[in-house]
Amino acid sequence: MINEKKKNLYSIWARFNNKQQEQLEVLKKKVNKILEGPYFPIHMTVSSRVLESERELIKKMESNLNKLSRFSIEIDNYGYKNTFFQSLYINVKRNHRFISQKKIIDTIFNCQPSFYAPHISLYYGLKNNTVKKKIISKLPKLKKIIKINNLCIALNDEKKLKWKIIETFLV
């Protein structure tokens, strides 16, 4: 019997300009202090379930950066669901520039089209919706436009609840 090596699972994350990155990280820490979820770097997943080697992903990103450009996202308040990885988050509106950048990234990394609900997670876990609503009621009003300055290749281990940014690229 052949022993196949377990493949790592990667995602492409968008990260924000420094000031907004810090503000969002503080907000996420505030939520997690109450709800006690696992640690993860603040981000917005652009593409996921990428199964190529780390070296190949970095090479593809470096050779295709000229096809990508900075873009902004428009956020639309807080949201919550009864799912572990979309438990409490910031809604992100779709706009043409953002979706066109996502399509380019999906093409670069051979990501298959699937349902995509853009958001910025503040908490991973399963808590009662009443608790999440109460927390949301105490959160600050959000700035409507967030600038995307970086794209990252992130290693995902959803079973062990560990995430690691492998490489960051300025767009």
92-146 pLDDT, tens digit per residue, is 999 899 999 999 999 999 998 788 999 999 999 999 999 999 999 999 998 899 9
User: What is the structure's pLDDT at 3?
Assistant: 39
Establish if 103 belongs to a structural domain.
yes
Return d(Cα 61, Cα 66) in angstroms, integer.
Answer: 9
Q: In CATH, what number is assigned to the domain containing residue 71?
A: 3.90.1140.10
Establish if 101 belongs to a structural domain.
yes
- Tokens 């509106």 locate to 93
Instruction: Tell me the C-alpha to C-alpha distance, in Å, between residue 31 and each of 26, 44, 51, 67, 138.
Output: 9, 17, 31, 36, 10
Establish if 132 belongs to a structural domain.
yes
Establish if 1 belongs to a structural domain.
no
Which residue range(s) make up the domain with 131? 9-170
Establish if 2 belongs to a structural domain.
no
- 152: pLDDT confidence band, cut at 50, 70 and 90? very high
Establish if 15 belongs to a structural domain.
yes
Establish if 4 belongs to a structural domain.
no
Q: How many domains does one find in the chain?
A: 1
Instruction: Tell me the C-alpha to C-alpha distance, in Å, between residue 162 and each of 40, 67, 88.
Output: 7, 30, 18
